[in-house]
Amino acid sequence: MSIVLGNTTVRMDSVGRFNLNDIHTAAGGEHHHKPSFWLRNKKTQEIITDRLKSGISDLTPVVATRGRYGGTYVIKTLVYSYSMWVSASFHNQVVDAYDAMARAAEPGHILPSSLSKLYRELADLHDENAALKKNLEGADEALRFHSKVGDLKGTYSITEAAHLLEMSGQALGLWMDSKGLLYKMGGPWLAKQAMLNEGYLVTRMVDRNNGLRQQVRVTAKGLLYLHRRLKRVTA
């Protein structure tokens, strides 16, 4: 993490001291605000001396490094002191920036690197909530249907089962045919053996005007199975 002052990101060294040259740049870079002038200030020297004598920390308050990424690095107390030396307004800006950095470093807090990333995260969260709501609605509907079928006894013709499933008998028959649950051989619907073995369908002999005929009927267990399959298709 780092402090950001306006358009300037303040560099930090390996132990957490802040680059005073960057802070000077963020303050406007005025010649009379150069860190070297502030460091020679009597008040600044008193703060540094007191810090060294206090023994609060083994961290050296001020260090200067050379090279491409060199500069003067100071502890937070001196950052605040320098910013107040520049102006009260800049001091408040520095304090606010440090507080923002500290909040971002708190456990569980994730600071998006860009506004577009934040929008993506919000969109993902919205999609997850929508999917969860849809799943809960589906589970609630399945529970209501299960309760309704649980009170039913006996078996049902394709037309009767279709009514319970809120569709036409023809539509249910064609759908079951397309899924390999029923089939025809020039006459009435016939049940696939697997559906009979699972107890989803049974066959009964019924008396028609032209004599006894075999009829496929749906069990209560079969109704639940069909409802589950149909909802999976429409989901």
Same domain, 18 and 63: yes
Mean local confidence (pLDDT), 34-55? 91
pTM over 0.85: no
Is residue 178 exposed (0-12), middle (13-18) or buried (19+ Cβ within 10 Å)? exposed
Mean local confidence (pLDDT), 205-224? 80
Q: Is the pLDDT of residue 111 over 90?
A: no
Q: Which residue has the tokens 């394709």?
A: 158
For residue range 191-213, list pLDDT tens digits in order. Answer: 899 999 988 899 888 776 666 77
Mean pLDDT of the chain: 81
d(CA 191, CA 203): 8
Say how many Å lie between the first and final Cα of the chain, rounded.
Answer: 45
Same domain, 97 and 116: no
Same domain, 104 and 202: no
Are the CB atoms for 49 and 62 separated by under 8 Å? no
Question: Band of the pLDDT at 17, cuts 50, 70, 90?
Answer: very high
Question: How far, in whole angstroms, is CA 226 from its chain's centroid?
Answer: 34
What pLDDT does 145 receive?
57
Is residue 25 exposed (0-12), middle (13-18) or buried (19+ Cβ within 10 Å)? middle
Q: Which domain holds residue 69?
A: 3-110
Same domain, 130 and 105: no
